[in-house]
Structure 1
Amino acid sequence: MESDQATSICAHCDRPIPASNIDLHYAHCSRNLQKCKVCGDMVPKQHAEDHYFSTHAPVACSLCSETMERDILDIHKGENCPQRIVTCEFCEFPLPAIDLPKHQDVCGNRTELCHVCNKYVRLRERYSHGDSCNRIQDNSVGSSRCQVLLVIRPTQRDVRAAERDEGAQRRPQNEFSRKNLLFTIAITGVAVIVGSIFFQRKAEPSDVH
């Protein structure tokens, strides 16, 4: 007894078909479908030509007129077509890719002034020059800063010498102020004594009368 799950391969489309329906399927398949010689898909016979031209027929690039398979046309136009428009890396001028090398050979030899070192540099060398120029500038700035710090920042020896000089200047001033104070106190004392003697003598005649 034949199993219900048994299949047979269609001689026209090479697909497994239930064995009970193989004869009916083959009659319909061979009459209405056609196998594409390129991709192997089964397509209706009436659309087989359209399928080939729309999917597999070689096409011409609208830029360079080169003929190629349709499925690589987009890649060709975006990456490989010699007539695709590209931009010069030095002047950003748009031009066909086939003309780019010759243009950049001339354009890259133009010079411009570097505002860091005030030297004229070729455009093709501006990136490498910018890196080296910035390193030189950073080193010179760092050296200048160190020199400024050495000039501005005094050493401990200078600080101690200044403190000694300042102390030496303060000591005479303190001694002079102290002498002035003692002299003032002495004068005041003498004045008080003289004044008391004077008043005592003036009071003695009044006591006699």
Structure 2
Amino acid sequence: MAEASDQATTLCSHCDRDIPSSNIDLHYAHCSRNLEKCKVCSDMVPKKYAEEHFLSTHAPVSCSLCSRSMDREVLAVHKGENCPQRIVTCDYCEFPLPAVDLFEHQEVCGNRTELCNLCNKYIRLRERSNHESICNGVQNIPPEPFRSTGETERGRRPQRRQPAGFSTKSLIFTIAITGLAVVLGSLLFQSKHENSPMH
């Protein structure tokens, strides 16, 4: 019976802990005088360290990158995933820059072009990964015009190709200049012939 009464406990009204009944008065006197319950986490902390406990554990903190104030518990996630000033890298050039500037940078950077080594076409950087997955290395050749199924290669006439650097406009210009030179030469010759002292 004596052992059973020694094991009896009483709930301390200050710290809400079960205390052996034989010690409850002494415990309560010490507990209520020296300890304080944290309003945030309900831990019992020494009264003289209560403010320090709050500041070091629960007080809002400022992000060192963007100066925004937040709960300490979310600071690491904020800095790693949400802070607009966290450093990220461009998907196209791998340049490090603040996350807040990334969209505008990638709009410009993604429109730059690079030569595809397989098909020799210039491809926008934003389309590069998609292009590489479908590129078969065929040169950039314009599609042939539609032919009926009855037409054969033998029956087609090859188109006459003009010499490089030669066009219809340059041909007409050359004829016009030549004609003008002939007319001027003829007039000049006639004028000299009329002014000749022999006549």
TM-score (norm 2): 0.66
4+ residue runs over 2 A deviation: none
Q: How does 1:149-164 map to 2 (within 5 A)?
A: none
Q: What's the Cα RMSD here?
A: 1.4
Per-residue CA shift, 1:166-207, capped at 9, x if unaligned? xxxxxxxxxxxxxxxxxxxxxxxxxxxxxxxxxxxxxxxxxx
- Unaligned runs of 5+ residues in structure 1 are 139-209
Q: How does 1:158-177 map to 2 (within 5 A)?
A: none
Return the offset for 1:48: 0.3
Aligned-partner Cα distance in 2 for 1:19–1:124: 74
Aligned-partner Cα distance in 1 for 2:40–2:134: 58
Aligned-partner Cα distance in 1 for 2:5–2:67: 59
Aligned-partner Cα distance in 2 for 1:40–1:103: 48
Match of 2:42 among 31, 40, 43: 40
Match of 1:25 among 27, 33, 58: 27
Per-residue CA shift, 1:33-69, capped at 9, x if unaligned? 0000000000000000000000100011111110001
Letter aligned with residue 89 of structure 1: D
Q: Which residue of 2 aligns with 1:7?
A: 9
Return the offset for 1:137: 4.4
Q: How does 1:1-209 map to 2 (within 5 A)?
A: 3-133=5-135, 136-137=136-137
Aligned-partner Cα distance in 2 for 1:54–1:4: 40
Return the offset for 1:96: 0.5
Return the offset for 1:104: 0.3
The structure that is helix-richer by fraction is 1
Per-residue CA shift, 1:129-178, capped at 9, x if unaligned? 00101xx349xxxxxxxxxxxxxxxxxxxxxxxxxxxxxxxxxxxxxxxx
Aligned-partner Cα distance in 1 for 2:8–2:130: 74
Identity of aligned residues (%): 72
3-state secondary structure, aligned to 2:88: strand
Aligned-partner Cα distance in 2 for 1:137–1:87: 30
Return the offset for 1:19: 0.8
**Highest CA radius of gyration, 1 or 2?**
1
- The number of equivalent residue pairs is 136
Return the offset for 1:3: 2.0
Aligned-partner Cα distance in 1 for 2:93–2:51: 49
TM-score (norm 1): 0.63
Return the offset for 1:26: 0.4
Per-residue CA shift, 1:85-121, capped at 9, x if unaligned? 1110101111110010111011101100001000000
